[in-house]
Chains A and B, each alone.
Chain A
Amino acid sequence: MTAAVFFGCAFIAFGPALALYIFTIATEPLRVIFLIIGAFFWLVSLLFSSLFWFVARTITANKDGPIQKYLLILGVLVSVLIQELFRFVYYKLLKKASEGLKSINPDETTPSMRLLAYVSGLGFGIMSGVFAFVNTLSDSLGPGTVGIHGDSPQFFLNSAFMTLVIILLHVFWGIIFFDGCEKKKWSALLIVLLTHLLVSALGKSQI
């Protein structure tokens, strides 16, 4: 029973990302490298957001109560901002790298910016999804299940679908963001930021 939940939720959450990886990225080594660098950038952004939240928590001296809830919300908002900032930083890095690659070998096909946008979005998404879900997933394999204290028994399924959504959204955000940066359409960046905040804010009803 727990194995069924584990595998089911794992494939719901990571199946599409895995398929995308296998069919589009795994064949080209350069894309794999950019994917991993993207994942690393997301990781660093998470590090900074956690640092912020940690510092905020120690400042408020870890008091329990509504302040923790507000701190969490603030932490989420700041985290979204930092993630988008790091997406921008990654865009700048990729721009420099692809210019460098072009200058070295002009007739070789270097990946286009659109492809790099997709790869970076997938990198961000995979890392984000994995970090969000993998602990829950490993708990689902263990003895017992969720719901004994009145929590929803659909906790795992919910989380799995939400993770899937987040991964795909990061891919789309990556593409839109890079496109906006390329064409200097700053409205696109704003839309990405706002939708990201919106998606994260949707979870607030759960607190």
Chain B
Amino acid sequence: MLTFMASDSEEEVCDERTSLMSAESPPPRCCQEARQGLEDGENAAQWMPWPPGTRASGPQPAGWSFRLESTTQTAHVHFHDTRARRRRAHRGRSLWPSPCGFPQRSQDSEEDFEDDADHYVCGGVPGQPSGLEEELTLKYGAKHVIMLFVPVTLCMIVVVATIKSVRFYTEKNGQLPYGAGREQSLQPAISLSIYTPFTEDTPSVGQRLLNSVLNTLIMISVIVAMTIFLVVLYKYRCYKFIHGWLIMSSLMLLFLFTYIYLGEVLKTYNVAMDYPTLFLTVWNFGAVGMVCIHWKGPLVLQQAYLIMISALMALVFIKYLPEWSAWVILGAISVYDLVAVLCPKGPLRMLVETAQERNEPIFPALIYSSAMVWTVGMAKLDPSSQGALQLPYDPEMEDSYDSFGEPSYPEVFEPPLPGYPGDELEEEEERGVKLGLGDFIFYSVLVGKAAATGSGDWNTTLACFVAILIGLCLTLLLLAVFKKALPALPISITFGLIFYFSTDNLVRPFMDTLASHQLYI
């Protein structure tokens, strides 16, 4: 039935996404070959250029390696020097033991909200003075923060704009005036109500609170179960299954939810559109989205699609989760994220360790990646050529999980020049930050709920927005300090929750009174 499929896809789609990771530009092609073990010698020579005698084995990233792990996915923010990347011949998503001794793993999100592959990126270049590395990483640290701020802000803007203008997403089920809409709205409602069966239409506050807590427990246990299922799948190498699941869920998102969304927007603005045009539009949108996300496409387009599907998912959550349950779920998921990432027996950590043992990318993921400047060269053949190139897709070199890894982001390559210290000022920095879509989704759910449930109050929405950005900043800062994996959700969600409740109850009456008297503080 469509409902169950929809629900599955909702669940699966959400799963992938909470991770914050940094990605380097994908390695040059020769690195891919090297990864296949074909030309290790040459490549090693090309990308392990540091002079003999420098410590090549010390696992001391001169750069900062941040790993944020959120509930479902570990997030890994990694800032490092281009030269380090050049030295590492790696694919963006491959697990390639880098010369500095770190396995690189991509953190990919899973289908469920649970784990993702952790992306450990080797940071820094051994042999370089550490101050130099830190300098470079600090300089680009701020840029990475902004590279995360922009997509998170855009996603929130889309969600808030939709909430404020399209009534559909704030109406509770059964209140829709349109018959067709009723069917559409009820189906996902039925599917989600399986996860939140306790109603919130109870007379007493205590009962309502209890029901929300019970709903949350059910939801979180579903998440935990799916995480463990995913870890098991990964352990037993069922990559095809995961890949298919991922394709199914993004299909659902890109076609079904877009269709519903477009329908509601058209209804709100009373714009008539005939079915052929509608189907043409949705088909084009969805098909290009599938290509961009799972295969190749321009980076900006892929980023835009990922933001859009995160927004769509967040809107679904905002509509179908009951009021209080949504808040409790947000809190619980931050706690789960903390536990799953930091505890030694946490599923996410186990997933990461398994991937580390196997030296491979964990999962195909829906991860937002924002690679920055890039220079591309023909790796082995012509190290000096630079220009914009998309690496041609090389089917024979991929195995199953490579193909997962491929689509998430366009190939960006670094010139595989042997690095030397004098070069750094001339080279373009190629740093990218990857953020799992789950983080996008939960941040947007928080801000969207603030926009939906405040009594038309914009102050609450803005306060939550600033709080989430500050939480993101703090998380990145903590990563720089601790240099180990940290969950991405807890700080932002905690700040967001604190500011939501305090702004709604304390600040709003104060500001309203001031504004009505035209008093400015």
Residues of A within 8 A of B (CB): 29-30, 32-33, 36-37, 39-40, 43, 46-47, 49-51, 53-54, 72, 75-76, 79-80, 83, 101, 104-105, 108, 127-128, 130-136, 138, 155, 158-159, 162-163, 166, 199-200, 203-204, 206-207
Contacts and interface: CB of A to CB of B under 8 A. Distances in A.
A204 B519 CA distance: 7
A40 B466 contact: yes
A135 B506 contact: no
A162 B506 CA distance: 24
**What 8 A-B pairs are tightest by C-beta distance, nearest first?**
A29-B146, A203-B519, A105-B135, A29-B142, A50-B510, A50-B506, A30-B142, A50-B507
Contact of B506 (A47, A83, A207): A47
Contacts of B146: 29, 32-33
B517 A36 contact: no
Contact of B473 (A37, A51, A133, A203): A37
Interface string B171-208: 00000000000000000000000000000000000000
B521 A128 contact: yes
Contact of B470 (A40, A54, A79): A40
A153 B467 CA distance: 36
B509 interface: yes
Contacts of B513: 72
Contacts, number: 123
A54 B139 CA distance: 43
Contacts of B473: 33, 36-37
Contacts of A108: 135, 138-139
Given A40-B467, A131-B511, A135-B511, A29 B499 contact: no
A166 B518 CA distance: 12
Contact of B521 (A76, A135, A206, A207): A76
A104 B134 contact: yes
B520 interface: yes
A200 B520 contact: yes
Contact of A29 (B145, B457, B509, B519): B145
B306 interface: no
Given A36-B470, A43-B463, A53 B510 contact: yes
8 contacts: A43-B466, A47-B502, A54-B505, A104-B131, A130-B462, A132-B514, A135-B515, A203-B520
B503 interface: yes
Contacts of B517: 72, 203, 206-207
Contacts of B145: 29, 33
A72 B467 CA distance: 27
B139 A207 contact: no
Contact of B519 (A36, A76, A105, A131): A76
Contacts of B467: 40, 43
Nearest to B457: A135
Nearest to A77: B521
Contact of B459 (A83, A134, A155): A134
B229 interface: no
A115 B14 CA distance: 42
B424 interface: no
Interface in B483-521: 499, 502-503, 505-507, 509-515, 517-521
A201 to B, nearest CB: 9
Contacts of B149: 32, 36
B279 interface: no
Nearest to B519: A203
Given A36-B149, A43-B499, A166-B520, 8 more contacts: A30-B142, A50-B507, A54-B505, A76-B521, A128-B520, A162-B520, A200-B519, A206-B518
A105 B138 contact: yes
Contacts of A132: 511, 514-515, 520-521
A43 B460 CA distance: 11
Contacts of A163: 520
A166 B460 CA distance: 21
